[in-house]
A and B are shown apart, each in its own frame.
Chain A
Amino acid sequence: MTKKIYEFIDHTADLGIRVKGENLPKLFSNAAYAMFDLLLEIDKVKPEETLKIKIAGGQMEDIFIDWLRELLLKFYSENLAFNEFNIQKLDQSGLEAEVKGEKVDPVKQNLKTELKAVTYHGLKIRKSGNLWEVQVIFDI
């Protein structure tokens, strides 16, 4: 079962999602989970390999985009998919995380959607009530 941590938003040409999380690290890990859920059958990914990810500091939106960009690049250039995202540090000075996953096997994990890129369009991280929220549009 896919966790219900994101929902689709209407965008005419591309694919938009709204992600929520109880704090910023959770928001970031939920967004990464959602992205891999769009890419392939994430339930069938085994958390066998561990990788450290570091993102340089800046505005929170830039760190967010760079986090997803880095993971998408690992998927497309190194054929790696992840389903566990442990954010160890996240502030204006940057992000450090440990992610777990394995090499993609297109037969086992059934590739779903090709995401060309994570776009910057209309991206805003905000707090809504008790939850953090972000909308992100992928070019597909």
Chain B
Amino acid sequence: MSNQYTIKKIDDYRWEIPKSGGMRVPGRLYTDEKMLNIVKKDNTPLQVKNVAHLPGIIKYSLAMPDMHWGYGFPIGGVAATDPDKDGVISPGGIGYDINCGVRLVRTNLEEKDVKPKLRQLLAALFTHIPCGVGSTSKLKLSISDVKQVLKEGARWAIKRGYGEDGDLERCEDYGVMKGANPEKVSQHAYKRGHDQLGTLGSGNHFLEIDLVEEVFDSQIANVFGLFQGQIVVIIHSGSRGLGYQICDDYLVLMRRAVEKYRISLPDRQLSCAPLNSPEGKDYFAAMAAAANFAWTNRQIITHWTREVFQKVLNLSPRDLGMGLVYDVCHNIGKFEEHLVNGKKKPVFVHRKGATRAFPAHHPHVPDIYREVGQPVLIPGDMGTNSYVMVGIERAMQETWGSTCHGAGRVLSRAAAKKAAKGRSPEKELEKKGILIMAKGKGTVAEEMPEAYKDVDQVVNIVQKAGLSKKVVKMKPLAVIKG
């Protein structure tokens, strides 16, 4: 299998890897020249090329502007497959952390309302929301409780008082993926994940208190319930050990499926099975179950966050106004209707480190946002800005309604640690006015801002390429990390 590729410029923000060898479609990278030079230093373009080998892939193997080297798919990778043409489902195109995602919670508060108690708020969040390596839940759930979670998604939590009525319509897919089957989840996965519901996790997962620093579109910001100078909360977590184990279990099944269906692939991490095969259907049912676990997880964390704000600031829920703005998935696979050769048809979209970004009037955008489009949440990394964008029509035409999911790493974790040697990333953040509490000793160093691409640049490329539109920019005030 050739490791060579050529990259052809389409315009300032679109680059193509022409079809060669076993590629079934060309690759397309959304980036600018400067970022492309960074991306070319690792294996990202090669991974885009590899994904183009998947049976049934339609149009392009795509990479969003925050693309970087992953395993199998690049992070920032998007690929749609055609169920009617032996199209496949690939667990590696969704990732181990199934339905890793982000939610944004608004408040009625301004900076002056939280500043005097910011340290206290951060400490209380750190105490009440389990985070870090090996963290376990405060909830004691039986296996049959967990099975209900896997079927019902975020609704399970709302029914038990962990949330508000309006939360569900503010989640992608209303917080539940249809087709989930808890019986397709292994005992190993239950064992590994049953005590992790309501935990943040470690690595790049975080909970952050932010300030809305700049509003780019006040009309849309208003519809989203956002305004300049406002305090908001960002929660980034996923399906924890349950999701990791489901992906791991099914990759073994896919290893065999690849032989059974005689699928030839350049990287074993891309192992897959036809969407219509028993293996493909079983994985989908288990993946949907993990997606529902993740939504419930973020819902419970949201509830505890609201409780902490009420207690520390001594304000009523009504005064706080901590409504959910939206919840997006950025590691997921979904059946969606898209235009293919001028006709609407169901396709299966893999988003590995990429966010759905549907435009105004799309039937899957909830009524409250139907006139303006779906909120797209782009978290920066620890210590840098985050953005809310909105879905627009061009992404539907070019990227299956997908956009970027964050800043994207440039330094490996080892290189980041090396760069942090002799420095105190915590103190550097505090100098910038950002408080941080982290469980792991090395986490802050690994996740320091230099390890990531500049999110402002990534978001500008997204906007210039016409994949989504900026609505507000947020800057962090306080962060908890695993």
Contacts and interface: CB of A to CB of B under 8 A. Distances in A.
Nearest to B38: A12
A118 B251 CA distance: 11
Interface string B230-270: 00000000000100110110011001000000000001110
B267 A140 contact: no
Interface string B47-72: 00000000000000000000011111
Contact of B412 (A10, A111, A116, A139): A10
Given A73-B245, A112-B133, A113-B133, A12 B42 contact: yes
Q: Chain B interface: which size bin?
A: 35 or more
Nearest to A15: B413
A10 B414 contact: yes
B70 to A, nearest CB: 5
B192 A76 contact: yes
Contacts of A73: 188, 192, 245
- Max count, chain A CB within 10 A of own CB: residue among B69, B134, B411: B134
A140 B191 contact: no
A113 B413 CA distance: 12
Contacts of B191: 76-78
Interface string B384-420: 0000000000000000000000000111111100000
Given A77-B188, A114-B203, A121-B267, A13 B69 contact: yes
Interface in A3-47: 8, 10-16
Interface in B84-127: 95-97
Contact of B71 (A77, A111, A113, A121): A121
Interface residues of A, number: 32
Interface string A40-62: 00000000000000000000011
A113 B134 CA distance: 9
B81 interface: no
A37 to B, nearest CB: 14
Interface in A124-140: 137, 139-140
B328 interface: no
A119 interface: yes
B182 interface: no
A61 to B, nearest CB: 8
B194 to A, nearest CB: 10
Given A113-B133, A116-B97, A139 B69 contact: no
Contact of B248 (A11, A69, A113): A69
B142 to A, nearest CB: 16
B251 A120 contact: yes
A114 B192 contact: no
B133 A77 contact: no
Nearest to A113: B133
Contacts of B412: 10-12, 16
A111 B409 contact: no
Nearest to A123: B268
Interface of B: 42, 68-72, 75, 95-97, 133-134, 188, 191-192, 201-203, 241, 244-245, 247-248, 251-252, 255, 267-269, 271, 409-415, 440, 442, 482
Given A77-B192, A113-B133, A119-B72, 6 more contacts: A61-B268, A73-B192, A112-B133, A118-B248, A122-B267, A139-B96
20 contacts: A8-B414, A10-B414, A10-B415, A11-B69, A13-B70, A14-B71, A14-B413, A16-B412, A62-B255, A77-B191, A106-B134, A113-B202, A113-B442, A116-B97, A117-B244, A120-B267, A121-B70, A121-B72, A139-B71, A140-B203
Shortest beta-carbon contacts, A-B, top 7: A121-B71, A77-B191, A120-B268, A119-B71, A116-B244, A12-B69, A121-B269
